[in-house]
Structure 1
């Protein structure tokens, strides 16, 4: 063969190898790679099953049931829910935005401690705060007894404070716990606003107070809207605090309709109404931000310099910043610590409480592993398949977090009970044995609820970790002959350990604190720390549950520490 022909032939071989390499690089999902895509579709379908089950069960109710609910149940529940959400929305926006501006625009002694201390109410679930304040503010409790002693009264008949079991009490207590949902994004927005915007306003003669309303606040509206919507989602999900404080919200109506009245179709119909409310809330939040745009020209914005405060002004700023921390965390947590110590000295740690703690940690750990695995699958499949269809699947898989726990649990209860009945019938027919309530009785249904509800946390955290890995790493792994699964195992998994660990911590704590789904789906004679606390508070024996409540609060501090460290690193970076 001539020398030139050999060169051309070798060039053809190189071109063919490059073409095959590109095919292997950009179309690697023909065999084992498609498992990721299929698994993502299955996970998204599992999230949508409860909604389909609710719709099916709601259609089983008669027309008379619909009219009865529309006339007697839904109007009162909707009005109570709307008032509660409106009050909480206004208060969390005011407290969260004010606290964020205070620690961003001003510099005073104690500010660095206050920055992370304002996150502490996140460690206390709403039902625990309600439980603590119900005992603290009881007519015979320490607060009212102390006030009467100071004023010279001897009996609650002579003097008593307004009853906290009211709509106003529920709004105040929920706001004291949920304002960090607004504080976090708004503070981040204030910190990243370019200094030149504030400086230009200052050169135009605008005072610092006016800068907040005319410059900072308009730019922070998207963050405020996001934070308020998250707080309202948590308000909708709440069942313990609302029930303890006498507010008959939609969530409480669903629970009582199913548990007390044994009316599953009616509960499903109320749950569908609640889903419509959630969709309306999300749509309203997006509509309110539809025309808002904000961009900066610099690659990294320079935040404006805070104004130093001294003397009385610094003391006043510190006191104002500490008020939500004191009433949202220190008072209820301190009360729980005192009561838990008294209970421990009197009876020690009961065997029942230790069993409940074991149940809580075991169930939360298993659910966390399942949520992390599914979150990794969905997030990595979305990265590997950037088409619109896969992005839609990723969004669907995270819808469970938008649904209140009671609604999600009711849908899972309907679906798993139907599957248990089908499985039992088949086992009787073919094997002559009864399987009973296999999914519900084993706790698998409860784990399913945790998976569907908290999958969004795992997917979001893992996606954030994966976005920091350059696409060139994927291509380099492919050129070295790694499959899609091999690339994930050798490249993405080691580089995403920090994001996975953070997601696991958040999911574990949320599983520990979850009450509404656990109440509906726990197996018989199976109690967790949260359900134990709910039962004791419902009976009025608050002191019996103080140790369980304190354990939940102590574990809940862990993600707060994580958030504080992340915020400090971003500020320093």
Structure 2
């Protein structure tokens, strides 16, 4: 039996090791001797980079928790007018890239922006010395913007946890005359803590890996240090060492989150469909809840989208250019290729797991999913190291055979950016196909084997028709995530090659947000697709 699975075994392990190669390359390169650039950074600015990163993550976590947790409890435990629309709208900010929100808010709140101009005209102030206004281009401003974009992680997970809590516990709290606040503090919040911890870890990892927002707000973090070290100093060794520090920080975040709930076990029945134990808000409480929830949606999505729509309408002629169409095709090309490759890889590792049910077959699935936790900037350094070595080997081989050197076939073409997307987002495809395959009865495998089907034919004739929807969803999610990815694309794009994300970033960095509005709207609309899918799945469960 093992001989029959040799092809699947080789493919599954080979592809999974290929995907983990960038992470291994980072630590291998970082283990080498320190050079002058890294020593200089350690002696001068590394402490500032590390401190800024720490406080950025902490501040963003606090603000995201402040935004997302009350909204999650209100939507799960209270009746509100228009709640069906509101519970869907609160997820929308996740589709808005953080750097786009940052550019718009900076344009609004800067000294030359409309808000400060209005305040000076209204109160008769003449200069910045006449009044105080918070500086939007600061660590606090960057944290606020990131929290507005990332709070839906906490909202989604916390709301799902609140909805799954036992009706009997909530009714018991009411019998003991607990107020809504006491019920939240003493019952709902402790039970939802594991989900909240997962949401916080996701927000922390996204904040740690952000480059576009912090770069525009002039906040120097470890991510900007990796970017500057590679592009400014052209020093791969120093960039790898900083990337290794970030990977260790991410590992510690994940480990701390799991350690905090290692002994926590929950045995509860979710809210029954016939039992409505939600609170009916009225008066000031109702309006306060509505203002809070709709205020989040407006500040994080509606107002920025309206501003982008205004710019796109008035500058459509200047935005609809051959470059815009060419870069849209570039994004489509690399994202579609990455999606197809990720789905094929996910099929291989998951089907190998199904054919050979031993525990060791779970290892390729797990190591293939590691790239999702790696920030795009760090992953770009990890991809660049092995691909650069592969280019050197290929050119040396061509010279030894007295052939013309092919040049940068891997690191200087779309291969690098596609490889990075596959490594980064394969976990999404693997998870989707894994859940789809789990729903296929093992009796169908036995029946196919009884009819003499080989494993490849069994996959093609039996499993693929049944998991077709899961494969399409997996490909769609990888495609959308690849379209929006900025960090890896900035570092790995070939010369004269732009994606929509880098196109928007370049215009906005040059203070030309008006010309970036049309491609930014396209990115936002693309990002709405997975949010609609997630919200529909939550509605089906509850």
How does the TM-score come out when normalised to structure 2? Answer: 0.95
Distance 1:291 1:540, change over 3 A: same
Alpha-carbon distance change, 400 to 318 in structure 1, aligned in 2, over 3 angstroms:
same
Q: Distance in 2 between matches of 1:93 and 1:220?
A: 13
- Residue 99 of structure 2 is aligned to residue 121 of structure 1: no
Contact 1:111 1:318 in 2 (8 A): no
Alignment equivalent of 1:482, drawn from 443, 448, 453: 453
Matches within 5 A, 1:164-313: 164-296=136-268, 305-313=277-285
* Alignment-derived partner of residue 20 in structure 1: none
Residue 565 (structure 1) aligned with residue 536 (structure 2): yes
Q: How do 1:9-48 residues align onto structure 2 when only pairs under 5 Å count?
A: 27=1, 29-31=2-4, 33-48=5-20
* Aligned residue among 334, 346, 362 for 1:375: 346
Are 1:194 and 1:304, in contact at CA under 8 Å, matched by a contact in 2? Answer: no
Alignment of 1:144-163 (within 5 A): 144-153=116-125, 158-159=130-131, 161-163=133-135
- Residue 412 of structure 2 aligns to a residue whose secondary structure is helix
Alpha-carbon distance in 2 for matches of 1:314, 1:497: 45
Task: Determine the structure 1 residue equivalent to 2:429.
Answer: 458
Task: Tell me, yes or no, if the aligned pair for 2:37 and 2:235 is still in contact at 8 Å.
Answer: no
Maintained 8 Å contact 1:198/1:304: no
Go from structure 1 to structure 2 and tell me whether the alpha carbon gap of 1:156 and 1:323 turns closer, same or farther (over 3 Å shift). same
Q: Measure the CA separation in 1 of the matches of 2:220 and 2:499.
A: 24
TM value normalised by structure 1: 0.90
Equivalent in 45, 52, 55 of residue 80 of structure 1: 52
- Structure 1, unaligned runs of 5 or more: 1-26
Q: Which residue of 1 aligns with 2:326?
A: 355
CA distance in 1, matches of 2:163, 2:34: 55
Which whole-Å deviations, capped at 9, do the CAs of 1:280-330 have from their partners, x for residues lacking one? 111101111111110136897976521222444323221111121111111
**C-alpha distance in structure 2 between counterparts of 1:159 and 1:504, whole Å:** 53
SS at match of 1:432: coil
Q: What corresponds to 1:406 in structure 2?
A: 377
5 Å-filtered alignment, 1:30-69, equals 30-31=3-4, 33-62=5-34, 67-69=39-41
Are 1:444 and 2:415 matched, yes or no? yes
User: Hey, what does 1:107 align to over in structure 2?
Assistant: 79
Report the alpha carbon displacement of residue 154 of structure 1 after superposing the two structures with TM. Answer: 5.5
C-alpha distance in 1 between matches for 2:278 and 2:411: 55
Would the aligned equivalents of 2:243 and 2:378 in 1 still touch at CA under 8 Å? yes
Q: In structure 2, how many angstroms separate the alpha carbons of the residues matched to 1:452 and 1:302? A: 44
Which structure 2 residues correspond to residues 479-558 of structure 1 after superposition, within 5 A? 479-558=450-529
Q: 2: distance between equivalents of 1:139 and 1:546?
A: 22
Decide which moves more: 82-91 or 57-66.
Answer: 57-66
How far the C-alpha of 1:162 sits from its partner, in A, is: 1.9
CA drift at 1:411: 1.1
Q: State how far apart, in whole Å, the 1-side matches of 2:270 and 2:476 are.
A: 35
The CA deviation string for residues 228-254 of structure 1, in whole angstroms up to 9 with x for no partner, is 111111111110001111211111100
**Counterpart contact for 1:193–1:302, Cα < 8 Å:** no
Question: Within 2, Cα distance between the matches of 1:525 and 1:428?
Answer: 28
Question: In the alignment, what sits opposite 1:133?
Answer: 105
Secondary structure in 2 aligned to 1:441? coil
Q: Structure 2: give runs of 5+ residues left out of the alignment.
A: none
Maintained 8 Å contact 1:440/1:522: no
Partners of 2:89 and 2:143 in 1: how far apart?
A: 22
Residues 561/150 of structure 1: CA separation in 2 closer, same or farther (3 Å cut): farther
- Cα deviation, 1:180-226, whole Å, max 9, x if unaligned, reads 11111111111111101111222222222211111111110110011
**d(CA) in 2 for partners of 1:518, 1:454:** 14
Indicate yes or no: 2:378 matched with 1:420. Answer: no
CA contact (8 A) 1:360 1:528 kept: yes
Which stretch of the first structure deviates more once superposed, 383-392 or 219-228? Answer: 383-392
Count of residues in correspondence between the two structures:
542
Runs of 4+ in 1 over 6 A off after TM superposition: 297-303
Residue of 283, 289, 298 corresponding to 1:326: 298
Match of 1:471 in 2: 442
User: Are the aligned partners of 2:371 and 2:427 in contact in 1 as well (CA < 8 Å)?
Assistant: yes
| Displacement of 1:121 | 0.5
Q: How far off is 1:160 after superposition? A: 6.4
| Contact kept? 2:158, 2:192, Cα under 8 Å | yes
Q: Which entry has the higher C-alpha Rg, 1 or 2? A: 1
Which region of structure 1 is more displaced relative to structure 2, 536-545 or 163-172? Answer: 536-545
